[in-house]
Amino acid sequence: MTLPPPAVRPEVAPSKAGWVKLSAFLLAVLALVAVYWALRETGVLGTIVDEQRLRARIEDLGAWGPLAVVLLMTLAILVSPIPSAPIAMAAGAAYGHTSGTLFVLAGAEAGALAAFGLARVLGRAALERWLGDRLPAGLSGSQNALMGIVFVSRLLPFISFDLISYAAGLTGLSLWRFALATLAGIVPASFFLAHLGLELASGEAERFMYTALALGLITAIPIAVALVRDRMRRRDG
């Protein structure tokens, strides 16, 4: 008599894969914490938050300076407590409007993509497995809507750039849409931070005030647009 093959337990493999992803996620978090601790203990973090000292260090690096800006911006996105504004301002002071902005854009985009990738690879699958049908609908919503949310959030400086990058990786938003929305959204802030750094380095306080005012007005535009749209929708409804 031939015995039937033993039943396969399909939950074993997914469970093992889930533990592997969870372990990898915890290791990634520990690595980022270790990097932040090392930067703080070695005094590098103190240099990063001081725009003038950072500018001097970047200029001392010569041809390696632009690469340092890109790497520091990337690191500032991945490790949230590290501020990115002083890096952008130091880049503007060291390399001017155009080059400074390009270096800042490259680093911010690289950091955003890295954060998105970490959340997508290590977090999305585990989230789907744990929540299943209870996964919030907003995480898998319209591609255009999610892309619009990312774009608008990039225009608002009081919304955490890092958090949005990680959170977007947990959604169903495609990588190329995230990359495009992020790049388009960070151009204004990158330019103005680089410009602010250049104006501060020049010591012209009046031009600095005008630049800060312009940045504030640009920041207010998306908020005003959102309020007008919401009011029109309520009126139509």
| Long-range CB contacts (within 8 A, 24+) of 14-21 | 14/129, 17/125, 18/125, 18/126, 18/129, 18/130, 21/121, 21/122, 21/123, 21/125, 21/126
DSSP 81-135: TS-SHHHHHHHHHHHHHHHHHHHHHHHHHHHHHHHHHHIIIIIIHHHHHHHGGGS
**Lowest model confidence (mean pLDDT) among 44-58, 88-102, 210-224:** 210-224
Q: How many CB atoms lie within 10 A of CB 128?
A: 15
* pLDDT score of 61: 92
CA distance 222 to 169: 23
Q: What is the pTM of this model?
A: 0.74
Total count of residues recorded for the chain: 237
Q: List pLDDT tens digits, range 155-193.
A: 887 788 888 898 888 888 999 999 999 999 999 889 888
Domain ranges of the chain: 18-232
Residue 234 has pLDDT above 50, yes or no: yes
**Are the beta carbons of 129 and 180 closer than 8 angstroms?**
no
User: Mean of the pLDDT values across residues 55-66?
Assistant: 92
CA distance 175 to 173: 7
